[in-house]
Chain A
Amino acid sequence: MNYLDFERPIVEVEEKLKELKTYYPHREREIRRLEKRLSKLKTEIFSNLSAWQIAQVARHPHRPYTLDYISRILDDFIELHGDRTFRDDPSIVGGLGKLDGESVMVIGHQKGRSTKEKVFRNFGMPHPEGYRKALRLMKLAERFAMPVITLIDTPGAYPGIGAEERGQAEAIARNLEAMSLLRIPMVSVVIGEGGSGGALAIGMGDRVLMLEYAIYSVISPEGCAAILWKDGTKAELAAEALKMTAKDLLHFGIIDGIVKEPPGGAHRDHDEAARLLKEALKESLDALRGVSGEELIQKRYQKYRSMGRFIDTHGSDTLRDS
C-alpha cells in the first residue's frame, strides 16, 4: 500500500489491527485497545497537518475521485460524452443522474488510478474540449432546470500544444462567462486538487465547498516555488505562503463551507467520504431550491463581484473584504 511519510504510524497500527482481526479475532480486548489507539493517532496526526502535508493528502493515490463519488452518491447515473466539436476528453466526466430522486447533472475532473488509466485520464488535466463538454452539459441542465454539481480535482488545465492550438484560454474564459449567467443552481466542491484556472473553469458555483483536506490555489506550490524562489524544491514554503487549504479559504470567505472527511482522510474510507459529501451536497441544494433563475444570476454576480481585497484611498480607506 502507498502511504505518505507522516501516515506511517497510522498504517502500522492499521496493519497490526488487520492481522489481529484476521488471525486472532477472539482477542477482543486487544483489538479494542488498538482501535482506540488508531482513532487517537488519526485525530492527532490529521489535526496538525502542514499545508504541504495537506497538499499531499489532496493528491493521495488512494483518494476517491469523481467517479468513486458518483457511484456512491447517485441512485442512477448515465455518463454523457463529447464536446460535439473535436473529441471526448476523459479528464472531465459528466452525466445525468438522480440524487435521492432528484434529477441532477454531475460534472467533474477525473484522475486515473492505474498507470494506464492515469495516462488515459491525462492525470486529470483537461484539454479545451473537456471544458467545452462541461459547458454543453451545463447548458443541457439549464434547459431542464436541473441543478448542476461539479466536483473539482485537477492539477490544472493541460499545458500542451494541442491544448493551446484549440484555445485552452478561450475555453476556460467562455466557461467563466457562461457560468455567471446560468439560470440553475450550481454547487461546486473541491474534492482534491483545485488547480488554478483549470479548476475554476467548472467551479463558479452558487455555493462552493471544499473537502477538509483539499487544496485550491492560483498556482501549484511547485510552480510557485519554481517561479518566485527559482527553486522547485521550495514547494513546502510555497504551499504555506499560498494559503491554499480549506480552512484558509473559508477564513477568506472564498468558499462557503468545509466538508468533513473520515478520520485519517477520505482515502481511508471511500464510503464514509461519499456519505459526508452527499449530506453536504443535499444541504447546499436545499438552500438553493426555489430561487428563480434571475435571482441566482444576481446573487452569483454579487458573490464573485465582491471577491478581492484592496485599499480605496479615495472614498474611504476601508479594506474591502471578500
Chain B
Amino acid sequence: MFKKALLALPVALALGATANAQKAPEDVLQALIDADPGSVYLTQSEMNIMMMPDSPALWVGMDGEDLFHTARGPNNVSMEACDFGKGPGVIEGAYVEMPRYFEDTGKVMDLETRIVHCMTEVQGFAADDPAVRQRHGSGSDHMKLQTYIAMQSNGMEWNNPLDHPLEKAMRDAGEVMFARRAGMSDFNCYACHGEVGKQVRASRLPATEAKGEWSKAISWPAFRVGHDNVRSSQHRVRGCYYQMRQAGMLAGSDASIALISYWTDMARGQPAVLPDMKR
C-alpha cells in the first residue's frame, strides 16, 4: 500500500498535467463538498476520499494513455485519428461534451459507443474482436481508453451540446425514460434519485436535484471499491435497470445513450470528478 502511494503521486501529476494541472479529482470533489457540506452522499466515505490520490483508476488511465497513442488494429493506426467531437485526437474537454452528435455517423454517441466506432471504423478491428467486445473490467481496453480520455475532462463542467435536433430529441427521450415506470417493482430512476439524503441499505443515494451530488454520481469512469474494478457509465445504467427489475440494457443502445444524455444534462455546469472513486 505504501509503495503504491509513493508511486501514485507522480502518476497523478503526469496525467493531470495534460488536462487540469491545478486540480486533482479529490480537489474537484472537495469543491463539491464545500459547496454542499450537508450532503451525506458526497461525504459518505471518508476512506474513499482519502484513497483517491492512490486510486487504481489512475493506473488504468495510464495504461489507457499508452493504448490511445499506440498504432493498433488491422489498419495500424492509433486513436489519435479518432474524432471525439473536437477534432481528430483532441481529447481535452471532449468527454464532458458527450454524448454528442457526430456528423460521420449521423448519430448521437456516448464515449463508449464512439470508442467502438473508432476501433471498428478507424483501426479496423472486427466487431467481435475482444478489444471491441470486452466492455467491463479494469483490464479491458475499453476501460483503459475511457478512463484516459475522461481524465482529460477532470474539473471541467458537464456541457453536452443540445444544439443539434438529434441531441435534443435524445435528451428529451432520456427524460421520459428516467421517469418511466415498468417491471416487477414499478420503479423508475426517481425511486432512488428523487429525494435528497436517502439511502438504500447502507448506501447513500445521489439526488438529481442536488446538482453537486449528481455531478459526482455521473462521474464515470470511477473505481468502484466494492467491485475492485473501474466501471463505466454504461455499466452503471445496466446495473440500475437490473436493480429496478426491468429488462437487461444493451450496451451502446440508443436507449442507453438517451438516458445518459439526460443525466449529463442534469449535471450541466457542475465540475466532473474524473476519475472518481465510489463505494
The answer to whether A and B belong to the same complex is no
